[in-house]
Amino acid sequence: MFERVKEDIQTVHARDPAAKSTLEIFFLYPGLHAIWFHRLASWFWTHNHLFAGRFFSSLNRLLTGIEIHPGAIIGRRMFIDHGMGVVIDETAEIGDDVVIYQGVVLGGTSLEKIKRHPTIGSGVVIGSGAKIIGNITIGNCSKIGAGSVVLKSAPPGSTVVGIPGKIVQEIRKCAIDLEHGKLPDPMAEAIQMILERQNEIEKQIRELGISADMLEMNKIQEKKTQNEEIFAEGHEYNK
Q: Same domain, yes or no, for 210 and 173?
A: no
Report pLDDT for 124: 94
Segment 147-156, tens digit of pLDDT: 999 999 999 9
Domain holding 200, by residue range, is 185-239
Q: Same domain, yes or no, for 124 and 201?
A: no
pLDDT band at 138 (very low <50, low <70, confident <90, very high): very high
Q: Same domain, yes or no, for 152 and 206?
A: no
Q: Same domain, yes or no, for 152 and 195?
A: no
Among 157, 102, 107, which Cα is nearest to 126's?
Answer: 102
Q: Same domain, yes or no, for 23 and 43?
A: yes
Q: Same domain, yes or no, for 192 and 224?
A: yes
Q: Same domain, yes or no, for 169 and 210?
A: no
Instruction: Please identify, among 168, 183, 198, the residue that sits at the C-terminal boundary of a domain.
Output: 183
Q: Same domain, yes or no, for 23 and 138?
A: yes
Q: Same domain, yes or no, for 111 and 220?
A: no
Contacts with 31 (C-beta within 8 Å, 6 or more apart), sequence order: 12, 64, 66, 79, 80, 81, 82, 83, 100
Segment 41-52, tens digit of pLDDT: 999 999 999 999
Instruction: Please identify, among 135, 158, 183, the residue that sits at the C-terminal boundary of a domain.
Output: 183
Q: What is the CATH number of the domain that holds 69?
A: 2.160.10.10
Which whole-number Å values give the CA distances from 181 to 34, 99, 199, 230, in the listed order? 24, 13, 31, 77
Q: Same domain, yes or no, for 175 and 201?
A: no
Q: Give the C-alpha separation, 166 to 172, whole Å.
A: 15
Mean pLDDT of 177-184: 60
Which residues are 159's β-sheet partners? 143, 169
Q: Same domain, yes or no, for 108 and 139?
A: yes
* Number of domains present in the structure of the chain: 2
Q: What secondary structure does DSSP assign to 160-180, as a single string? A: EETTTTEEEE----------T
Q: Same domain, yes or no, for 124 and 199?
A: no
Segment 69-125, tens digit of pLDDT: 999 999 999 999 988 999 999 999 999 999 999 999 999 987 788 899 999 999 999
pTM for the structure as a whole: 0.76
